[in-house]
Amino acid sequence: MTDEPPPAARPAADFALSFDGVAAQYATARPGYPPALLDTVEELAGSLRGKRVLDVGAGTGIATALLRDRGADVIAVEPGPGMGAQLRTTLPDVPLVRAYGDALPFADATADLITYAQSWHWTDPARSVPEALRVLRPGGALALWWNVPDPDVAWSAAQERRLQERLPGYHRHGVSADAPRLVADLDLTPAPATVFRRLHWTRRIPVELHLAHLASRSYFVVLGPERAKPVLDDERAHLLRHFPDGTVDDAYAVELTVVRRP
């Protein structure tokens, strides 16, 4: 027995900082992003080479590294000490600032691009969007993106339905497809231009790595290993029936919203 509230009742802050305890697993199991994502960001926001980029909610630096490899001058912004420490091990030369997106410790008009990879849903849009627009230079852009299980792939959609039925509140913080509406609802003046794109991609990985990825999601982390184990065991059985060779065609849609500062 436990006196802890179920995950569906936990505040978002519990989930946002829950990754600290699984930072190494997060770095190993989480998917990266396809080259087409950064191509699309550059199409919509301009070349990254030589641009000042703030990667907010940088986590272990998965997106930070890709931005740096495109030639950007990147500063990682991450509130979690465990995630930040993991980022330091792989990107020791990238500046790291401990902060939240709702209160960015940067001067006005000092960044060309602000990115949130898998992290904007942990912010309060009424605070984080005006903060981003304040810090961006005129013509700069805010890019929000998420890898989500591809709803157009049958096995992936079926897995998501099972998890939602079994785990109350699962993915309740998900806002990837609603990001353009959430920005529009802020009624900003002048209104920024907003573009939404969805990109599909696949990675081939062992079943156990897919399960490690599931276990690194905030809901499972806050659920705890004892309660998570039977759910993951059942998913292993489902996956091995669908992928008997033990290799998963892990299918994602990257949902990207780019907001341009006037």
Q: How far apart are CA 16 and CA 11, in angstroms?
A: 9
How high is the pLDDT of residue 173? 57
Residue 232 exposed, middle or buried by CB count within 10 Å (0-12, 13-18, 19+)? middle
Provide the pLDDT for residue 157: 94
**Please, are residues 102 and 81 in contact by the beta-carbon 8 Å criterion?**
no
pLDDT of residue 225: 85
Tell me what pLDDT residue 109 has. Answer: 98
**Cβ-proximal residues to 208 (8 Å cutoff; 6+ apart), any chain:** none
Which tens digit of pLDDT belongs to each residue from 235-251? 999 999 999 999 999 99
Task: Quote the CA–CA distance of 169 and 27 in Å, as a whole number.
Answer: 25
pLDDT of res. 181: 96
Cα–Cα distance, 119 to 182 (Å, whole number): 15
pLDDT at position 182 is 96
Q: What is the DSSP string of the chain?
A: ---SPPGGGS-HHHHHTGGGGGHHHHHHHS----HHHHHHHHHHH---TT-EEEEET-TTSHHHHHHHHTT-EEEEE---HHHHHHHHHH-TTS-EE---TTS--S-TT-EEEEEEES-GGGS-HHHHHHHHHHHEEEEEEEEEEEEEE-TTSHHHHHHHHHHHHHSTTTTTT--GGGHHHHHHTT--SSPPEEEEEEEEEEEEEEHHHHHHHHHTSHHHHHH-HHHHHHHHHHHHHHHHHH-TTSEEEEEEEEEEEEEE--
Q: Are 199 and 37 in contact (CB under 8 A)?
A: yes
Q: How far apart are the first and last CA of the chain?
A: 54
Exposure of 88 in the CB half-sphere (CA atoms within 13 A): 10
- Looking at residue 12, its pLDDT comes to 47
Q: What length is written for the chain?
A: 262
pLDDT of residue 3: 35
Q: Which residues of the chain are modeled with pLDDT < 50?
A: 1-18, 20, 22
Which structure tokens are listed for 35?
A: 């080259």
